Chains A and B, each alone.
Chain A
Amino acid sequence: MIKDILQKPESFYKEFYRKSGSNKLTTHYCPGCGHGVIHKLIAEAMDDFGISNKSVVISPVGCSVFAYYYFDCGNIQAPHGRAPAVATGVKRAIPGSIVISYQGDGDLAGIGGNEILHAANRGENISVFFVNNAIYGMTGSQMAPTTLIGQKTTTTPYGRSIQNEGYPIKVCELLATLEAPVYIERVAISDTKNVMKARKAIRKALQNQVENKGFSLVEILSPCPTGWGVKPTEAKKWIEEVLSKNFHLGIFKDKTSEPVALLNEAKKFDPEEIKKIIGEKNQNEQDTKFSKPDVKPKYQNPRIKISGFGGQGILFLGQLLSKCAMISDYYTTWLPSYGPEMRGGTANCQVNISNKRIGSPLVTETDVLIAMNLPSLDKFENDVKKDGLILVNSSLIGRNVRRGDVEVLYVPATRIADEIGNTKVANIVMLGAYIAQTKIVSNDCVLYTTNHSVKKKEFLKVNEEVFRRGMEYVISYKRKSNKEFDTVIF
């Protein structure tokens, strides 16, 4: 497109209102920085293709972390090195969007090396702009994976040596060996000719995405006058005379003229199919519903944390609670947190049960803590909200709860379970105790869920028995209403 006025592209914000400070018209980049030029070329291409209203720029960690100050389109700032993964997610969730992963050399070739490799290998239909200045510019010019042999940085004061730091990584050459990428080119922001070549490459990478061609990556050798400690005009010369001699410019892969491959075919599952996969067979049983009991206001919408040894059935207890809530018409979430050990380590899970929709499955403010062992009580006691509820497995926890502003139930769950003949069902005792105290779901609902969740049928009777015992314990405990401390059995 031939324009008769060249000016600030419309894909930039008129005023960079997200930028802090009073100067909202200039970028935060240093004089002579390549980012500004690259931003301008991308924004100009967005204008010309008319895609700014459906583009999403994923900004990295590095100086360009603030790309969202400037581009007037969708913006996401990704964790360090993870821009290609975030871009993959965005592109697959919104296939019509134009997703741009904008990354520096520390972000893409350093910490995010694996991300870009796999995104390229999957042939994600995204455009990656890889800004290579051979240095960690933002943090004070340390050595980057792309630093040249012999180049002095603050962490290689005698110059990068092959023996110590190895060879610079050449990303374009590396990725060009993969099958899936469609277009890979290296350009430079140096003299006018090279800037115009970069402009062309950036436009092509975006056009490929618009035409659903597949993965495009443009590596841009970019000046960092501040990091290199030179004037902008000298930085330009250094790119021409040194950097581009080591990182050769040119097209490394171009399959754009080949027919478009089918990309990421979205598989749609219907509910029946999912049930079949996870082994839920009986349609009618799934539809069983129980009514919500009347719950005292202070026990409504609990955010529950359950914690104990691995093997105590912590995660299963959480699942049971969540399933009960589900068939009692609550909204619910269940989020497990594993230690690396299956048995013998600690495990905890977080359960939300609510009358309203739940924003996050994470429990940060705990209303109810079910502590099955001492480390759990030590760890989570202080997270419980004022007037919250703590259920203590007093068989294994030989101390009182230190806080005075919470309600505490001491239940010798392991002892009760042992009396029945199996210490593994202590979790169901706790479930009984919790339900008896709060009546958040009906007893029938719990028994139904338990019966349908336990795989070994010989446990059915045991579960029913211990659940009842747990409930009875709490009810008689309340009746006595003196907070006797159950003796510890070790």
Chain B
Amino acid sequence: MNSMNLALVNEDPEQKKRKHSARVEIEGELCKECLLCIEACAPDVLKVSQKLNKLGYHAVEYIGEGCTGCGVCFYVCPEPGTIKVYKRINES
């Protein structure tokens, strides 16, 4: 009863926008195909794409599901802006 009240009081109107489930976004044009992210990815949800990017590399891409949002790929990637990881935010 008490906790329910608190939840209502603390409800952030902006919070709905921040809700996202875990996923990774890879800017294919900035990828240099070093493949360190694929090797580091524990759930194995990254793969090499067939297409060549403008730099002449087969960029890495997300298979679309299974990302846990651990962020390991972000830290092992040597390029500053290629990988963006959204962590899972608890829905409750």
Which residues of A are at the interface with B, using a C-beta cutoff of 8 A?
Answer: 3-9, 12, 23, 25-27, 29-37, 39-41, 43, 70, 191-192, 195-196, 199, 225, 231-233, 236
By the criterion CB–CB under 8 Å, are B75 and A32 in contact?
Answer: no
**Pick from B20, B36, B74, B84: contact of A32, CB under 8 Å:** B36
Which residues on B sit within 8 Å (CB–CB) of A12? 80-81
Most buried by B among A9, A32, A33, A41: A32
**Pick from B27, B30, B57, B85: contact of A6, CB under 8 Å:** B85
**Pick from A6, A26, A43, A236: contact of B74, CB under 8 Å:** A6
Known: A25-B30, A195-B76, A232-B34. A8 touches B81 (CB 8 A): yes
Which residues on B sit within 8 Å (CB–CB) of A195? 75-76
Known: A23-B55, A192-B72, A233-B39. A36 touches B87 (CB 8 A): no
Which residues on A sit within 8 Å (CB–CB) of B29? 25
The 7 listed contacts between A and B (C-beta, < 8 Å) are A5-B85, A12-B80, A25-B27, A191-B40, A199-B75, A225-B34, A233-B34
Known: A5-B85, A5-B87, A31-B57. A192 touches B80 (CB 8 A): no
Measured between alpha carbons, how far is A123 from B89 in the docked complex, in Å? 44
**Pick from B76, B80, B86: contact of A70, CB under 8 Å:** B80
Check: B18 CB closer than 8 A to any chain A CB.
yes
Which residues on B sit within 8 Å (CB–CB) of A39? 80
Which residues on A sit within 8 Å (CB–CB) of B78? 27, 29, 31-37, 40
Which residues on A sit within 8 Å (CB–CB) of B89? 4
By the criterion CB–CB under 8 Å, are B79 and A36 in contact?
Answer: yes
By the criterion CB–CB under 8 Å, are A232 and B36 in contact?
Answer: yes
By the criterion CB–CB under 8 Å, are A26 and B79 in contact?
Answer: yes
Which residues on A sit within 8 Å (CB–CB) of B83? 6
Q: A7-B85, A33-B78, A225-B34 are in contact. List 18 more A-B contacts (CB 8 A).
A: A4-B18, A5-B84, A5-B86, A6-B74, A12-B81, A23-B55, A25-B27, A25-B29, A31-B32, A31-B78, A36-B77, A36-B80, A37-B77, A37-B78, A192-B72, A192-B75, A232-B34, A232-B36
A270–chain B nearest beta-carbon distance, Å = 49
Known: A232-B34, A232-B36. A27 touches B87 (CB 8 A): no
Which residues on A sit within 8 Å (CB–CB) of B84? 5-8
The 8 A CB mask of B11-34 against A (1 = contact, 0 = none) is 000000010100000010110111
**Pick from A30, A41, A192, A199: contact of B40, CB under 8 Å:** A192
B86–chain A nearest beta-carbon distance, Å = 5
Check: B45 CB closer than 8 A to any chain A CB.
no
**Pick from A3, A33, A225: contact of B87, CB under 8 Å:** A3
Closest residue of chain A to B39 (Cβ to Cβ) is A233
By the criterion CB–CB under 8 Å, are A236 and B39 in contact?
Answer: yes
Closest residue of chain B to A196 (Cβ to Cβ) is B75
A3–chain B nearest beta-carbon distance, Å = 7
Which residues on B sit within 8 Å (CB–CB) of A30? 32
Which residues on A sit within 8 Å (CB–CB) of B18? 4
The 8 A CB mask of B27-62 against A (1 = contact, 0 = none) is 101101111100110000000000000010100000
By the criterion CB–CB under 8 Å, are B76 and A192 in contact?
Answer: yes
By the criterion CB–CB under 8 Å, are A31 and B30 in contact?
Answer: no
Measured between alpha carbons, how far is A6 from B85 in the docked complex, in Å? 5
Which residues on B sit within 8 Å (CB–CB) of A196? 75
Identify the 3 closest CB pairs spanning chains A and B, nearest first. Answer: A36-B78, A32-B34, A31-B32
By the criterion CB–CB under 8 Å, are B81 and A25 in contact?
Answer: yes
B49–chain A nearest beta-carbon distance, Å = 15
Which residues on B sit within 8 Å (CB–CB) of A36? 77-80
**Pick from B20, B33, B72, B85: contact of A31, CB under 8 Å:** B33
Measured between alpha carbons, how far is A112 from B40 in the docked complex, in Å? 35
Known: A29-B78, A34-B78. A4 touches B34 (CB 8 A): no
By the criterion CB–CB under 8 Å, are A27 and B80 in contact?
Answer: yes
By the criterion CB–CB under 8 Å, are B40 and A26 in contact?
Answer: no
Which residues on B sit within 8 Å (CB–CB) of A33? 78
Measured between alpha carbons, how far is A236 from B35 in the docked complex, in Å? 11
By the criterion CB–CB under 8 Å, are A4 and B57 in contact?
Answer: no
**Pick from B32, B36, B71, B75: contact of A236, CB under 8 Å:** B36
Measured between alpha carbons, how far is A8 from B35 in the docked complex, in Å? 19
